[in-house]
């Protein structure tokens, strides 16, 4: 009996020592990482939440094999949340491949359709996985532990031809660090979010519509006040990113990272400080 008591007290002491130490080291190592994957002209952003959830915003152009390969390299097993910001091919084009390659738990998209083949393929892939699309619109919150993730746009409905302004805009906060992912939202959507008093302030801004001059107004930059901006862009015939947007970012003293220059760009946050790593220098 005495021996048993002695053993028990040792075990109890051990548990008391181990539990707090473990939880401290876990808390210290918990990070959020945001990967702006270089998909050429298009968007694809992979987010690893501090508690392990995997989130994918858009899947690049047409062929999703580059995104699938990147996610496999990051040891992604499943995707808790997939967001299709809007139905344009340079955003949803690769999502059908991602849906085929990984189990996906929920898919969010704005309530606007498209007649393109890329959009049809996306809808078929969603249906094949027996998923129903959840509406991405302002004030919808994502169920991710340890972070605050809320759509701040679209705040209203737009005409079917304005697919960019329908973009699902996600604001994500981990501790002291905030990211704003704007899809291809243009001036109209930007000013509507400001008028609707959505919270927009962020440390990192994913610049809208690959740096097109009809996005990222000075008023919007004043509302977001970013330290860093990421432009997801590749070879294109639209003149993206435009001088106008680069000049507005320069005037606002924002540090700019471009996927066409730096390759894939990864931000890491421990909840208080941000660091950035790029594929190319
Ligand atoms: Zn686009």
Q: What is the pLDDT of residue 14?
A: 46
Give alpha helix (H) positions in 53-197: 65-73, 89-92, 95-101, 117-128, 187-195
Q: Both tokens of residue 26?
A: 């876990």
The answer, yes or no, to whether residue 36 has pLDDT greater than 70, is: yes
pLDDT digits (tens, 9 = 90+) for 147-163: 999 999 999 999 999 99
- In the structure, ligand 1 is a single-atom ion and the residues with CB under 5 Å from it are 90, 184
Domain range for 232 is 31-278
**184 CA from centroid of ligand 1 (Å):** 5
Q: Detail the DSSP E strand segments found in the chain.
A: 32-36, 45-48, 54-57, 79-83, 104-109, 134-135, 148-153, 169-174, 177-181, 204-206, 228-231, 255-258, 265-269, 274-278
User: Which residue carries 């690893």 as its tokens?
Assistant: 48
Q: Does residue 269 form part of some domain?
A: yes
**36 CA from centroid of ligand 1 (Å):** 14
Task: Please tell me the total count of domains within the chain.
Answer: 1
**183 CA from centroid of ligand 1 (Å):** 7
Where b means 16+ CB within 10 Å and e means fewer, 8-47 reads eeeeeeeeeeeeeeeeeeeeeebebbbbbbbbbbbbbbbb
**88 CA from centroid of ligand 1 (Å):** 6
**176 CA from centroid of ligand 1 (Å):** 29
CB 240 within 8 A of CB 41: yes
Q: Does residue 120 form part of some domain?
A: yes
CATH of the domain at 36: 3.60.15.10
Phi-psi region of 225 (alpha: psi -120 to 50; beta: other; left: phi over 0): left
**Confidence tier at 23 by pLDDT (50, 70, 90):** very low
Q: Does residue 222 form part of some domain?
A: yes
The answer, yes or no, to whether residue 12 has pLDDT greater than 90, is: no
The answer, yes or no, to whether residue 254 has pLDDT greater than 50, is: yes
**191 CA from centroid of ligand 1 (Å):** 19
Q: Does residue 139 form part of some domain?
A: yes
**Which percentage of the chain shows pLDDT scores above 70?**
90
Q: Does residue 7 form part of some domain?
A: no
State the pTM of this model: 0.90
- Report the distance separating Cα 270 and Cα 229, nearest Å: 19
Q: What is the pLDDT of residue 113?
A: 87
- Report the distance separating Cα 167 and Cα 111, nearest Å: 10
The answer, yes or no, to whether residue 49 has pLDDT greater than 70, is: yes
**25 CA from centroid of ligand 1 (Å):** 40
Average pLDDT, the chain: 92
Q: Does residue 148 form part of some domain?
A: yes
Q: Does residue 194 form part of some domain?
A: yes
Q: What is the pLDDT of residue 3?
A: 59
Q: Does residue 157 form part of some domain?
A: yes
**127 CA from centroid of ligand 1 (Å):** 24
- Report the distance separating Cα 129 and Cα 25, nearest Å: 38
**38 CA from centroid of ligand 1 (Å):** 13
């Amino acid at each position: 009996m005495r021996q048993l008591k002695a053993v028990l007290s040792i075990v109890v002491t051990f548990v008391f020592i181990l539990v707090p130490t473990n939880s401290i080291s876990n808390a210290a190592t918990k990070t959020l990482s945001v990967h702006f994957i270089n998909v050429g002209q298009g968007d694809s952003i992979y987010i690893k939440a501090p508690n392990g959830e995997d989130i994918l915003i858009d899947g690049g152009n047409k062929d999703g094999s580059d995104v699938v390969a990147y996610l496999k390299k990051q040891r992604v097993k499943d995707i808790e949340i997939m967001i299709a910001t809007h139905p344009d091919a340079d955003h949803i084009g690769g999502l059908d491949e991602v849906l085929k390659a990984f189990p996906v738990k929920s898919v969010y998209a704005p309530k606007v359709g498209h007649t393109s083949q890329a959009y049809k393929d996306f809808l078929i892939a969603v249906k094949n996985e027996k998923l129903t699309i959840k509406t991405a619109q302002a004030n919808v919150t994502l169920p991710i532990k340890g972070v605050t993730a809320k759509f701040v746009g679209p705040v209203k409905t737009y005409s079917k031809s304005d697919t960019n302004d329908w973009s699902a805009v996600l604001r994500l906060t981990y501790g002291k660090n905030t990211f704003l992912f704007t899809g291809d939202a243009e001036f109209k959507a930007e000013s509507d979010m400001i008028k609707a008093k959505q919270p927009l302030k962020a440390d990192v801004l994913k610049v809208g519509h690959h740096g097109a001059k009809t996005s990222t107004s000075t008023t919007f930059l004043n509302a977001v006040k970013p330290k860093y901006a990421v432009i997801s862009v590749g070879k294109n015939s639209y003149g993206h990113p435009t001088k106008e947007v680069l000049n507005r970012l320069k005037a606002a003293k924002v540090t700019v990272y471009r996927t066409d220059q730096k390759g894939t760009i990864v931000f890491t946050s421990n909840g208080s400080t941000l660091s950035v790593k790029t594929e190319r220098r």
